[in-house]
Structure 1
Amino acid sequence: MAEPVRARRLSDHEGQTLVRLVRRGRHDSVRVRRALMVMASASGTPVRAIAQLVAADEDTVRDVIHAFNERGLAALDPNWAGGRPRRITSGDEDFIVATAATRPEKLGRPFTRWSIRKLAAYLADNPTRVVVIGRERLRQYLREHKISFQRTRTWKESTDPRREAKLDRIEEVTTRFPNRCFAFDQFGPLSIRPHGGSGWAREGRPERRPATYRRDQGVRYFHGCYSLGDDQ
């Protein structure tokens, strides 16, 4: 017949620690219940009575007593499992960030910017890497990687095919005649205002988009260049 399970003799430190936990702790906490099991067993209370005292299974009480005899007070802390494995890997996170920072039209989508709903739908159904993720968790990932919804910035760039030749001429004249004064003027629509879009980008680094100043109907520009100085 096997000997009954019983906690070993407590040291002064172990006894004081267990008493302090039971007196000051909440009796519904795991550590307090385990401390009660050990104290009761060390005083000679059988396993069945301890199980009724703490409303636990007898096998659970035996496991706690065995763990205490082997590891001491460390047995009061439960060794919880790691939980469910991660569904989103580090590679998935990188793909989420890269996709959010890419304009949708570049990925074959017929719109100019992502919403959380559209981004989550694309991630769940794309030819590159399928990532199934909820909207709120997606929003948290973007925030963790410092991706925020920002307005894009624009810049103007000349499309004149003779741009380089004109710049060379201006540089030549200003070099040969350093005292000459030039005045440049342009007259066109008074309400030209580039409208930047918006999209997801890293904080402080919004995407830059070229400003569109092309007007195909009813708009004409007048460019003037005046040379003020002696004729040479």
Structure 2
Amino acid sequence: MIHERTLQEPHGMSHPITQPLRPLTDAERSELTRISHAPSERLNRHQRAVALLAIEAGKNLTDAAKAAGWKTPKTVARLIRRFHERGLVALDDLPRRGHPRSYGSTERTRIVQELRRHPLRKEDGTATWSLATLRRALREAPDGLPRVSTFTILYTLHEAGYSWQKSRTWCETGKTLRKKDGRVEESYDEYTQEKTAVIERAYLIGEQLGFQVWCEDEAGPYQTIPQPGSSWQVENRPARQAHQYLRGETAKLLTLFRPATGELRAEVVQQSTNAILHPWLQRELTDILKQCPPAPETVPTGRRWQDWDIYPAAEQLDRFFPPVRILLIWDNLAGHKSHSLVQWCAEHGILLLSTPNAGSWLNMAESVQRIIKRRALQGYHTYDVEILKQWLTDAVAGWNRRPTPFIWGGKRHARRDRAYARRHRVGGSGATAAYVIPRRLRSVRYYRKAA
């Protein structure tokens, strides 16, 4: 009986903390809490964060180890010592033993330096570096690395933050190219940051303040040509489209979109000139104003013109115009700056928020227009523009039967950024790896000895 109690006692007794955990800062506590609740974090980082939070909550080493899923409280004691020495870095694994690096910091810096050098088509035989061409350049350089391998180059570049990517069409918000006097000049919108910030603020809190936030855009032209797309067909019998076709008339889509509810107001036209666009806008906005709640008699802070207008002397607008009821986000086009339209909107309590130059990504109407185009035209072809216009009209009606609200940013955006920062995607599925997996070189050939 005594022998049995002796065996069970070490497992049931609590271990006191010989080295207490120092007080956590607000930033450390916030990061530990985030890691402990994040479902996409590594297990070892999650366990260490849970253990530290348990110690801070007043638990002993044994209870903290159980909360983290560990068998021995000594693991928690070692973690506390590491945390005192290294801070949040203690959540990561210690460097493991292994064969020493063949290439030190000097050689790795030389590899990155060669990558940053733009290759010469005549000398290097390429316009962009690949692993093979980069290895050849490093081996042939006088101060290069005569025995470096593509495997070493790959790992060195990944450690330096480089990855193999496709080129993308990208425009820097606020900058545009204009042709003047036969020369191409770069133009920059000096209010880019202010416009971006106020539009994002409208998406995030505009509806909460009592406004109706709408986006406006004109999509098209949509041509009467075969539209690419995928569909379910009998195996080995894909849907076929004519190789030759005749171009006919085009159609455009005038769009008003409310992200908070997903409501879509649209009209299909053949042209989107000011004579067509402005009357349609005034008609639709008048109908929207009838559905808006009445403006408050005393305008609170956050609903004034000066709270949303970014230009100087904005505080004077509250003296001349009625309270703001609608926030309208649209592109920075000349037709949107017509004095008569701007004056009409101001007199009806509609505050206009224009995107900066090359900033159409801030307009959520662009997203819903792509969806409407895909649902209406994907995989089909017609020579009659009236049929094409009817398809677009029907797609808009189908959208409004089951509208989808749009949310700017959101938790998914933050989750995706964190995942990209710590994971490496594996092709062929949704799998990811915690470290880079080098590809097998296809250029390697294997030879068998002759019999």
What's the TM-score, normalizing by structure 2?
A: 0.20
Larger Rg: 1
Higher RCO (CA-CA < 8 Å; seq separation 6+): 1
TM-score calculated relative to the size of structure 1: 0.33
